[in-house]
Structure 1
């Protein structure tokens, strides 16, 4: 019986229909998928520490116990500090809004003297600390909702770390490569591990530097702004702007416009140095994404997986790009996702 050949247009339609069905399934199952994705990211980030401990003859079970204990204690400490800061900031919000109105009243009068009249209500609407705090609450609350499944996430991480050493071999066998001849698989796994580990370390350094400098100048809730800078550093360009807005607004209210300008400079310097000097040195120049892809991935993963999808949008897109680069037939797609430096090389 002769095989029926599908036309190219029908193949394309079937492929698009399959993608829509898969995405609909992922969105429907996001309450289960999001904790699993977080577990994968935590396990990948913790894997270098596990390898470091096991190479120093620490038993694997003890090493996993130490890592999980550190993650739990650090997470509880951080959640306590951030939660307290969010609650305190919310309680102080009316006082901050009154101070902001007072400061902008003088600014409005000065602008009127130079024949540039601006209504006070317009200024307070554009620079509303309550609106900025809503963004912070949404981000922290999104993670808090997922962390309600903390026990499930930690249990999944433990099992993943236990089988981390055997996973590459299983992947080779699953893809009919029992003789370990497909170097693309190993390169893909290595690149994903390196990217997530380095990106996390750079993000931690970014959050730590910003938090300590804000503490040094006396800005309130510096721990909250440092954590926000750490989380949003996973989103290049856009994330640093979102992270800076509430800290700058609070600096205007608490310290004055001059210090607020210094806070803006702090965020600019730290993100430029980390994004243009530190990250390319460790990750390589060809691993970046175009600004358009970053923005579209933020919208897409946010729609698909919620707040956690927004924060992990760039790492998820980077994993997709690394996977496309590992295959010659899909490398052109990875090139479309890349930045200007990669397309020029």
Structure 2
């Protein structure tokens, strides 16, 4: 018989996994369905979300100015006014430059009407000699090679920003409130971090990554724009300032911004000086833009924000589909925001971060065996 002082044998308790009531496949399907609904709603409300996202990115970018002013003892009211004025001046300068450049383009293109007609006739004749129906070729070229169509393409390229700037009242109001709230946001975030450190850390990482991306891209964009403007001026291409501005804006479009920026000046080079000048424009752009935008800049940005080239390209396609041209310009910051809200905010999903990044993993996350193989450390066994 067991004495009353003996303890009963210890029974190992089963390890309860949170969310084990549903199979993992069902959870994935439910999450995917919710994601589809959210993305569909964002696409429907793109005209509303576009200005909000643009205002958020601009506010995050200039917020260090307000933080620096507060540390220097600048009064709160002056800090608020300065923060708002910086953003307003940036938008005003960009909108004025775009408006002046587009107006000059509209005035210039009718002068090339005869060159357009000659080019269309040459293309139709060449395709006709290859056995293609002359009537179909002429009808297609009538729709695609007119000055109005070219202006339409340029307006679409600038359309993301131009469309947002046209809704001036809403954009300025959102920027005003965001810039005012941004001054006290670090203190509120620190207070929230006492209860939810993961949330505060994810938001800080998003803000820092967005600032790093925008500052790096802006610096590279200015370098490319200045070099392109000087090169196009040397080649006697009309409106070199406009095409330099286009290079600066398309520099924010990952991977394919260079291709979009070269089309208009190459076309004008073809109309003005023939195939030889068009080739020179393409060669100059390839030597400048391709080397900087496609080789040097992605490496710097990848190290700065922690997104691989594949993720950057897929982000471009996705956000351009959801929000239009403005989504293409803000693809990387929006992806950083989504990563912060969906991945970094939850410790159980941070295993996805190495799959999204392009750089080497931290040494602390992996152990290398003597033969070079990478092993994942296992958790210690539970004591009995």
For normalisation by structure 1, the TM-score amounts to 0.77
The gaps in structure 2 that reach 5 residues or longer are 1-18, 364-384
2:229–2:240 CA contact under 8 A, matched in 1: yes
Q: 1:205 to 1:4 in 2, by over 3 A?
A: closer
CA apart distance, 1:15: 1.2
Distance 1:192 1:142 in 2: 19
Counterpart selection for 2:259 from 221, 241, 259: 241
Asked if residue 42 in structure 1 is aligned to residue 61 in structure 2, the reply is no
Note the C-alpha offset of 1:103. 6.2
After superposition, what is the alpha-carbon deviation per residue over 1:30-76, rounded to whole angstroms, capped at 9, x for unaligned? 22211110101111222244445555655454354345445444544
Query: Is the deviation greater in 119-128 or in 65-74?
Result: 119-128
Equivalence for 1:202:
220
Compared CA separation, residues 143 and 216, structure 1 to 2 (3 A):
same
List runs of 5+ in structure 1 lacking aligned partners.
Answer: none
Indicate whether 1:24 and 2:40 are aligned: yes
Instruction: Decide which structure has the larger Cα Rg and report it.
Output: 2
Query: Structure 1 residues 106, 136: CA separation in 2 closer, same or farther (over 3 Å shift)?
Result: closer
Q: CA contact under 8 A between 2:212 and 2:305: conserved in structure 1?
A: no
Tell me how far apart the structure 2 counterparts of residues 211 and 326 of structure 1 sit (CA, whole Å): 43
Higher fraction of helix: 1
2:115 corresponds in structure 1 to: 99
1:288-327 paired onto structure 2 within 5 Å: 288-291=307-310, 293-321=311-339, 324=343
Paired residue secondary structure (2:182): coil
TM-score by length of 2: 0.70
Aligned mates of 2:20, 2:336 — CA distance in 1: 38
CA contact 1:34–1:308 (8 Å) conserved in 2: yes
**Alignment: residue pair count:** 338
Mapped partners of 2:217, 2:156: distance in 1 = 23
Map of 2:99 onto structure 1: 83
1:226 to 2:224 alignment: no
Residue 149 in 1 paired to residue 149 in 2? no
Whether the 8 Å contact between 1:207 and 1:226 is mirrored in structure 2 is yes
Within the alignment, does 1:254 sit opposite 2:268 as a pair? no
Note the C-alpha offset of 1:222: 2.1
CA contact (8 A) 1:46 1:67 kept: yes
CA contact (8 A) 1:45 1:193 kept: yes
Q: Residues 246 and 125 (structure 1 numbering): CA distance in 2 closer, same or farther, change over 3 Å?
A: farther
